[in-house]
Structure 1
Amino acid sequence: MGYMVLAAWVVQAAVGVSLLVSWARHAKGRNRGLVLTHATAMIAFAVVWIVFIVTGGVGWAWAGLGVLAVFIGFGDATMVRRARAVRGETNPGLRDYGPAIGVALSGSLGRRTRFHALFSALVFFPCLAVCIIATIAAR
């Protein structure tokens, strides 16, 4: 199952790279800190996850989940900012997350963004399941 998480990550990363290339071409550096932190952390996740697969060390799996849990939020924050711009709003706040999901799912941020937002669950939740199963199996 660890390999399934890695395979899902590869699909997610391919779309992420295409979004990163589009961002580099068109965004003129907007949200640079969020985008680059998110991208770098997702690469770090892959490294940690591969170490888990190779060693079987449960701590590595949990470390990978921790990276996802913290740094997916940087991608979410980028989506919220883009959705705010699409909606013509300027007030920042967590209350914008729900409407931003609606904007992303509507396709207003593009098909790749919609896919990336939805598919992220197919990396995160199986990763959580692997962590739990590996922890139980190690006892």
Structure 2
Amino acid sequence: MSYVVLVAWLVQAAVGVLLLTGWLGHGRAHPRVVVTHVVLSVLGVASWITYVLADQVLWAWAALLLITIGNGFGDNILLRRTRAMGGSHLSTVNAYKLAIRSMFKGRLPVRVSFHAMFAGVVYFSTLAICIVATVG
């Protein structure tokens, strides 16, 4: 199962690379947030690969920790984008609601929507493997 999760990580990373190249091409704002998100994600996938190769559960937990923090930065990027679409007055909860509605109504690019939603798949499958590998 850890290989299936690795494939999910790699799919998520590939979409992330597409988003990053588009972001770099347009010179978008908030480079520290984006760079931090990317660095934590790269370190997370590297930790997961190390877990798969070494079969040492500490690496799986390290990967989970890194994407937990990295996803926070990714959410920050998504919420800034959502607020820029007309929700600058919204609370965080309402900005999340607007982001979700925007994804399902096609107001955000497909790559952005996929990356945001698939982050949950990667996160919770990673968490499940960490728990099973620790308990089992």
Common fold by TM > 0.5: yes
Aligned to 1:115: 114
Structure 2 partner of 1:106: 105
Q: Which amino acid aligns with 1:68?
A: I
1:7 Cα deviation from its structure 2 partner: 0.4
Q: Is the 8 A contact 1:65 1:127 kept in 2?
A: yes
Q: What is the root-mean-square deviation in Å for CA atoms of aligned residues?
A: 1.4
Query: Percent same amino acid among aligned pairs?
Result: 41
Map residues 71-110 of structure 1 onto 2, 5 A cutoff: 71-86=70-85, 88-91=86-89, 93-95=91-93, 96-110=95-109
**Residues matched between the structures, number:** 135
Deviation at residue 93 of structure 1 after TM alignment: 4.3
- The answer to whether the Cα contact below 8 Å between 1:83 and 1:104 also exists between their aligned partners in 2 is no
Corresponding residue of 2:65: 66
For residues 56 and 77 of structure 2, the distance between their equivalents in structure 1, rounded to whole angstroms, comes to 33
Larger CA deviation: 95-104 vs 37-46: 95-104
State the distance in 1 between where 2:80 and 2:98 align: 11
Q: In the alignment, what sits opposite 2:17? A: 17
TM-score, L = length of structure 1: 0.89
1:23-34 to 2 correspondence within 5 Å? 23-26=23-26, 28-34=27-33
Task: For 1:14, give the aligned amino acid.
Answer: A
- Which residues of structure 1 form unaligned runs of 5+? none
